[in-house]
């Protein structure tokens, strides 16, 4: 099945594994919240128990260096893609309000990104992630 939109999650390649997983999880929830129309139906197991809905399309996870993250950041803004961002100072906070505070304090044109998620038209997301490799 070909989707009109694409979801890409970019993670700084030199983070610790736990940080990569943490960043990826947070960014995926940001995209899901921003695109409720992309959510699938609830899952039901063989016993009839209900389970949470998942995003109804694949998410590609890319490894990126700082330059790649900033290039994708700028492309995402220029192309008006849905964006979710995670900056390095967020690792030192303990709650959502503090995360928003440290994010707002980052330089608008060059935040200290460790992760970025993008969603939008396939060709625009492809342009934003051009040259990046899927995470191993």
Mode of pairing for the β-strands spanning 133-134 and 113-121: unpaired
Class of domain 5-134: alpha beta
Q: Are 76 and 121 in contact (CB under 8 A)?
A: no
Domain spans of the chain, in order of start: 5-134
Q: What is the mean pLDDT of residues 63-87?
A: 98
Which of these, 4, 24, 25, 26, lies nearest to 12 by C-alpha position? 24
Distance CA 37, CA 86 (A): 23
Q: What six digits make up the tokens of 37?
A: 């129309």
For tokens 């980052």, name the residue: 106
DSSP reduced 3-state for 61: strand
Query: In which band, very low, low, confident or very high, does the pLDDT at 2 lie, cut at 50, 70 and 90?
Result: confident
**pLDDT at site 121:** 97
- pTM of the predicted protein model: 0.94
Query: In which band, very low, low, confident or very high, does the pLDDT at 27 lie, cut at 50, 70 and 90?
Result: very high
Q: What is the mean pLDDT of residues 118-123?
A: 97
Long-range contacts of the stretch 38-42 (C-beta < 8 A, 24+): 38/5, 38/7, 38/119
Q: Are 70 and 77 in contact (CB under 8 A)?
A: no
Give the H or E element holding residue 101: helix 96-105
pLDDT over 90 at 7, yes or no: yes
């Amino acid at each position: 099945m070909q989707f009109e939109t694409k979801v890409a999650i970019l993670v700084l390649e030199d983070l610790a594994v736990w940080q990569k997983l943490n960043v990826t999880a947070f960014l995926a929830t940001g995209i899901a919240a921003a695109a409720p129309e992309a959510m699938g139906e609830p899952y039901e197991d063989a016993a009839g128990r209900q389970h949470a809905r998942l995003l109804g399309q694949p998410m590609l996870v890319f490894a990126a260096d700082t330059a790649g993250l900033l290039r994708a950041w700028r492309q995402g803004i220029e192309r008006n893609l849905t964006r979710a961002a995670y900056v390095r100072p967020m690792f030192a906070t303990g709650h959502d309000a503090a995360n928003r505070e440290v994010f707002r304090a980052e330089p608008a044109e060059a935040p200290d990104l460790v992760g970025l998620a993008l969603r939008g038209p396939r060709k625009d997301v492809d342009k934003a992630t051009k040259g990046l490799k899927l995470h191993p």
